[in-house]
Amino acid sequence: MRSSKYIEDTEDFYQNAPCGFLTCDTNGRIAGINDTLLSLTGRTRESTVAVCSFSELLTTGSRLFAETHIMPLVKMQGFVNEVSFDMRAADGMTFPVLVNIRSVQSDQEGEEYYRLTVIDYTLRKRYERELIEAKRDAESNAEMLRIANTDLQHFAQIASHDLQAPLNTVTGLIQLMEIKGLLKRNAESEEILDLIFRNTRRMKSMISDLLEYQSFRESDSDFERVSLGEVCREALEGLAGEVEATGASFDIGALPAVSGAKIRLVRLFQNLFSNALKYRSEAPPAVLVSSREEGDKIITAVADNGTGFDPSHAEKIFGFMERLQSRDQIEGTGIGLSACRRIAESHGGSIRAESVPGEGSVFFVTLPRA
C-alpha cells in the first residue's frame, strides 16, 4: 500500500494506540481514557471515567508526588515530560509508567483539560535500575581501588627502602672484610665472593626494578609531545658502558613524535636496547630502529640480531618476572619487558614481539601519535 493512500482510522488509533491515552480536568478527574490504558490497568470505562481521578490510578507514593509537585506544575506551566510514576492495576499489581502531560482548552466551553500519554516501561526501568546499581558499584569499586593502589604504592616504597638498607650493609661489610684482609684469598673464596656480589647486585636491581614498575601508575595528565629520536638517544646514553663493551652498533632512522611521558618512554626503549645487548649472539649486536604511521598510531620496530626466542613464547616474555633463561645464563629480573608492556599500555598503546631463534627478534611498540 502506498502511504499517501493510507487513511488513518483515528478513532481506532486512539483506542488501540501502542500507549495509553487519558484526558482529565484540572482537578485530575478522568474525562476520557483509551482501551489500551484500560486493559493495562485492568479497569472498565464505567468504573473509571467521571468516577475517579488520574492520581487514583497510581500507587500512594506516586500519588503524593503527583498531587504535591507534578499536577501543580502542569497547572502552572501547561506541560510536563517524562515523569516516572508507579501505576496500580485493578488486581493490585504495580508497574512503572512514563507520563507526558499537555494542557489543552476544550472547544465547547474553553475549559482547561490535560491530555496524558502513558507508557508502560517495565523493561526499560529494569535496565535503568541495573545501570544505577552498576554505576554505584563501579563508583565504589573505583574508590576502593584508588585506596588499595595508594596503600600498595606506600607499601612498595617502604618495603623496597627497608630491603635495600640491610642489603647495602651486607655488601659494605663484606667489602670491609676484604679491605681489612679478614678473608682468606684463594680460588674457592674468590668464587664464593663473586657469587655473593652477583646475588646482592641482582637483588638490588630487582628492588629498583620493582620500585620503578609500581611507579608507572601515574595518570596520563603529564603527556606531552615527545620525539622518539630523542627518546632513543637518551636511552642509549644510559647504556653507553654496555654498548662499548659489546661493540654494538645502533641504526636509528628518522623517528616521528609521539604523545607520552618522556621519562617512561626512555625507560621502555632502554629496556629493549638492553635486552638486545644482553641476549646477543656470537656476532657484535646490531640494532635497527624504524617506524611507520598507522592512523593515529606510531608503530616503532626495534630489531636485533641476537639469540631470539621460541615464537611460542612471544607472549610469555612480557609476563611479570617471567624469564626464559635461567639466572646462571644471563642476569635479569624478569621485570624489564613487563615494565615495557606496562609503559606502552599506560600510553594507550601496546607492545608485541616476533622472533626467529638464532637470527634475532623484533619488538613492535605502538604509541599514540603526537
Partner 1 sequence: MLRSGRAFARLCFPDSIYSVIFEQRSRAAREDPCASAPNTADMQTDLKKRNNIHLSGSGKTTLVLAHGYGCDQNMWRRIIPHFERDYRILRFDHVGSGKSDERAYDFDKYASLQGYADDVAEICAAFCDGNTVFAGHSVSAMIGVLAASGNPGLFRRMVLVGPSPCYVNDGDYFGGFTPSDIDELIFTLENNYLGWSRHIAPVIAGGDENADTARELENSFCRMNPAIAKHFAKVTFTSDNRGDLMQADLPALVIQCNPDVIAPVEVGKYVADRLPQGTYTELKVPGHCPHLTAPEATAEAVHTFLNEIS
Residues of this chain that interact with partner 1 (CB under 8 A) are 26-29, 53, 55-56, 59-65, 67-69, 71-73, 75-77, 80-81, 83-86, 96, 125, 128, 132, 139, 143
Full DSSP string of 26-63: TT-BEEEE-HHHHHHHT--STTTTTTSBGGGGB-HHHH
Contact between 65 and 85 under an 8 Å Cβ cutoff? The reply is: yes
Which amino acid is located at 64 in the chain?
L
The least distance separating partner 1 from the CB of residue 147, rounded to whole angstroms, comes to 14
Q: What is the closest distance, in whole angstroms, from the C-beta atom of residue 121 to partner 1 in the complex?
A: 11
Helix, strand or coil for residue 110?
Answer: coil
CA 333 – CA 82 distance, rounded (Å): 60
Starting at the edge strand found earlier in the chain, the sheet holding 30-33 runs 30-33, 20-25, 112-120, 94-105, 79-88
Beta bridge partners of 291: 300
Q: Which CB atom, from 134 or from 159, has the smaller least distance to partner 1?
A: 134
Task: State the nearest-atom distance from the C-beta of 30 to partner 1, in Å.
Answer: 12
3-state class (DSSP) for residue 320:
coil
CB distance 23 to 33 below 8 Å = yes
- Cell digits of residue 120: 508502560
- Minimum CB separation from partner 1 for residue 83, in Å? 6
From the CB of 259, what's the least distance to partner 1, in Å? 27
Q: Which is nearer to partner 1, 52 or 324 (CB)?
A: 52
79-86 contact pairs (CB < 8 A, 24+): 79/103, 84/125, 85/58, 85/59, 86/58, 86/59, 86/61, 86/62
- When the beta carbons of 80 and 367 are compared against partner 1, the nearer one is 80
Inter-CA distances, 346 with 145, 151, 267, 339, Å: 17, 20, 13, 10
Strands (E), the chain: 20-25, 30-33, 79-88, 94-105, 112-120, 224-227, 249-252, 257-260, 286-294, 297-303, 350-356, 360-368
At 322, list the grid cell: 617471567
Closest CB to partner 1 among residues 125, 297: 125
Q: How far is the CB of 342 from partner 1 (least distance, A)?
A: 29
Nearer to partner 1, 28 or 285 (CB): 28
Considering beta carbons, is residue 73 or 174 the nearer one to partner 1?
73
Shortest separation between residue 223's beta carbon and partner 1, angstroms? 25
- To partner 1, the closest distance from the beta carbon of 84 in angstroms equals 4
**Cβ proximity to partner 1, 3 vs 77, nearer residue:** 77
Q: Which is nearer to partner 1, 69 or 217 (CB)?
A: 69
